[in-house]
Amino acid sequence: MKKKRTIVAVLAMVLTLGAGLAGCSTKSREIAFADVGWDSVKFHNAVAGLVAESAFGYTWKEMPGSSPIMHEALKNGEIDVNMEEWTDNLSTYYEDRDAGLFKDLGTNFGDNIQGFYVPRYVIEGDPERGIEPMAPGLKTVQDLKKYADVFPDDEKPGMGRIYGAIPGWEINEIMQKKVKFNGLDSQYNYFQPGSDAALSAAFTSAFEKGEPIVGYYWEPTWLTGKYDMVLLEDYPYVDLEKYKAGETACPSVDVTVGVSNQFYEEEPEFCEFLEKYETSSALTSEALAYMQDNEGVTYTDTAKWFLTEHSELIDQWLPEDKAEDVRGALGLSQEKTNYFFDFPFVIPIDVNAFDTSVKAFANQSTVFKAIRDGLNILINVLNAILNLIPWWLLIAIVFFGGYKLSGKVRNGIIYSILLFLVGAIGLWDLMYETLSIVLASVVISLLIGLPVGIMISGSDRANVIVRPILDTMQTMPVFVYLIPAVLFFGLGKAPAVIATTIYAIVPVIRLTSHGIRQVDPEVVEAARSFGSTKWQCLFKVQIPQALPTILTGVNQTLMMAMAMVVTCSMIGASGLGMEVLISVNRIEIGRGLLAGTAVVIVAILMDRLTQGWFKRKEDNADGRK
């Protein structure tokens, strides 16, 4: 009887699993498309993916990564298709193509433009918003010389700010050369935003606040479709050499469709479709504008709308039978859902309304600007102090500190050699920039964290409230901290300090509270029995007893601040992290290894020196006992 029950149970499980799998696809291939984060490439992926599903019976997915990394993945066969290979922005594109490392299937669109943009209200004003013209004579890149005061750089008072291209893109170096060629580098700071998302956020924030901004951008994008932006004129394009020297306007970039060699050999029919796949900047902008105007619309929805509106493209791309398959797919109102694997419902949360309200609050508050200005002053002061220290003196200080704190000459020599290597590989100045951000973050973390840790150590109720908050902060992905930092404080070093402080403050709060709570109650009771007040007991008994644990928290805060160095480069924080980011975007292994080594050296030295200092204080305290 028991055996029969087992057989029945197994059969029931098999039937249930079979019912669930009945709705699953048995298609022969899954195509991996490159997703470099742009709305335009996501849209083209959706169009090509829709054709792959309806006409060829394939499934598809997207692999995220920066443009240079996706190009590298294409060469290695880790992705199958890249719908947007920006040829002039990839330093090794033509070399790789000519070497046969991937297949170029032709142009997707070639009528795009790029260069320095400003909002139209900067030139013409906006009477509806009460904005007066700020630079009425601004028409060309050369005219920027007259308006440096219109685009101030909060991090460098007296200088203007030009937002540059993304670190690692070839166009970034060209735009830097353009600034120097036109003599703008004496009046403007060429600010590298770290990522295309950060650059978009800078323009979006400026538009919503009605503030002036000038920076690099390109078309087609949702931002140029949504906001009224003016491309500054430049000297006419002559040839590639003068363009790469930054002397002329940027020509239209040939944006091609690339596939891996393996995919080209295995899927000739689908590659034939991709060879005929050709759109335009105008068509892409039209589709992206449709997404902006229709809340909740997905890229797949947009692809269906686009192919319905421009059905003639289907006939240009596909043979008659497959074109009919695509038209049939466009008539489907909704794909069938397999509730065995897919969650049956989604709560309709209006995140856009939340975003709008938060942005409105950020735009109206002057408190954030005051905080940003204060942080910039602190960072600049720390950086100025560091720059006053000659390289040889800092190395001598590190040697002396390593020797005195460890009692070993060998350690002092090793530490000084490691620091010397940072300068020897040409990263000394970038190290100072990084240290100014880290030190500012640690100072703020300690000023806030130590009092909070002391407060919750003496209150069970406060501890119950704060502990879940600390747990959340400690488990939250580090990139999440960049969102409020950019939203309220813009791009640069100030938001980097804010994000780093939020991330690094947890250990000092937690370990300060833990250390004080771990003090022997009998010792505390003895102090009080001798007439000590609560505050005397705290500062003369509990904190000294908890000092080893508290200092461990300080050390961990310092290390976590160093860990944010590379991450914060994504929001425009210059220093060693920016050097690492550039090397990642350009796949320059040697450059990345040098910058990464410098980060590791700085982290090791800070860890060893602070630990040695803390241990010395503990030993002195034990000696006094």
Q: Which residue has the higher pLDDT, 11 or 260?
A: 260
**DSSP letter (8 states) at residue 531:** T
Residue with tokens 């960072």: 379
Comparing 56-60, 90-94, 308-312, 381-385, the range with the smallest average pLDDT is 90-94
Comparing 279-288, 530-539, 570-579, the range with the smallest average pLDDT is 530-539
For residue 424, pLDDT beyond 80 = yes
Q: What span, in angstroms and rounded, lies between the C-alpha atoms of 498 and 4?
A: 65
Contact criterion met (CB below 8 Å) for 503 and 481:
yes
User: For residue range 230-243, what is the model confidence (pLDDT) as tens digits?
Assistant: 999 999 998 889 99
CA end-to-end distance (rounded Å), the chain: 76
User: For residue range 245-281, what is the model confidence (pLDDT) as tens digits?
Assistant: 999 999 888 899 999 999 999 999 999 999 999 998 8
Confidence label for 618 from pLDDT (cuts 50, 70 and 90):
low
pLDDT at 591: 86
User: For residue range 27-71, what is the model confidence (pLDDT) as tens digits?
Assistant: 468 999 999 888 899 999 999 999 999 999 999 999 988 788 889
For residue 491, pLDDT beyond 80 = yes
For residue 2, pLDDT beyond 60 = no
Confidence label for 351 from pLDDT (cuts 50, 70 and 90):
low
Q: Which residue has the higher pLDDT, 584 or 175?
A: 175
DSSP states along 389-453: S-HHHHHHHHHHHHHHHHS-HHHHHHHHHHHHHHHHTT-HHHHHHHHHHHHHHHHHHHHHHHHHH
For residue 22, pLDDT beyond 70 = no
Taking each continuous run of H as one helix and of E as one strand, the counts in the chain are 29, 10
Residue ranges covered by each domain of the chain: 28-108+256-328, 112-243, 364-387+425-620
pLDDT at 273: 95
User: For residue range 199-208, what is the model confidence (pLDDT) as tens digits?
Assistant: 988 998 899 8
- Is beta strand 103-109 parallel, antiparallel or unpaired with respect to 255-259? antiparallel
What predicted TM-score, i.e. pTM, was given to this entire model? 0.75
Peptide bond into 212 cis (omega under 30): no
Comparing 393-407, 467-481, 497-511, the range with the smallest average pLDDT is 467-481
CB atoms within 10 A of CB 552: 18
Confidence label for 536 from pLDDT (cuts 50, 70 and 90):
confident
Q: What span, in angstroms and rounded, lies between the C-alpha atoms of 134 and 151?
A: 10
For 339, 400, 406, 610, 620, the CA distances from 409, given in Å and listed in that order, are 68, 9, 8, 17, 21
**Residue range 572-580: mean pLDDT, rounded:** 86
User: For residue range 295-330, what is the model confidence (pLDDT) as tens digits?
Assistant: 778 999 999 999 999 989 999 999 988 998 898 888
Task: Express as a percent the part of the chain with pLDDT over 70.
Answer: 89
Which CATH topology does 364-387+425-620 take? Answer: MetI-like fold (1.10.3720)
Contact criterion met (CB below 8 Å) for 145 and 135:
no
pLDDT at 332: 45
Contact criterion met (CB below 8 Å) for 61 and 328:
no
pLDDT at 26: 43
**Residue range 512-539: mean pLDDT, rounded:** 83
Q: Check if 112-243 and 364-387+425-620 are the same fold.
A: no
**Domain covering 28-108+256-328: architecture:** 3-Layer(aba) Sandwich (3.40)
Confidence label for 355 from pLDDT (cuts 50, 70 and 90):
low
DSSP states along 104-149: EEEEEE----EEEEEEHHHHH-BGGGTBPPS-TT--BSGGGGGGGG
Determine the 3-state secondary structure of 206 from DSSP. helix
Alpha-carbon torsion (121, 127, 130, 134), positive or negative: positive
What is the dotted CATH code of the domain comprising 112-243? Answer: 3.40.190.100
For residue 13, pLDDT beyond 70 = no
What is the pLDDT of the chain when averaged over all its residues? 86
Contact criterion met (CB below 8 Å) for 434 and 580:
no
Residues present in the chain in total: 625
Determine the 3-state secondary structure of 584 from DSSP. helix
pLDDT at 528: 80
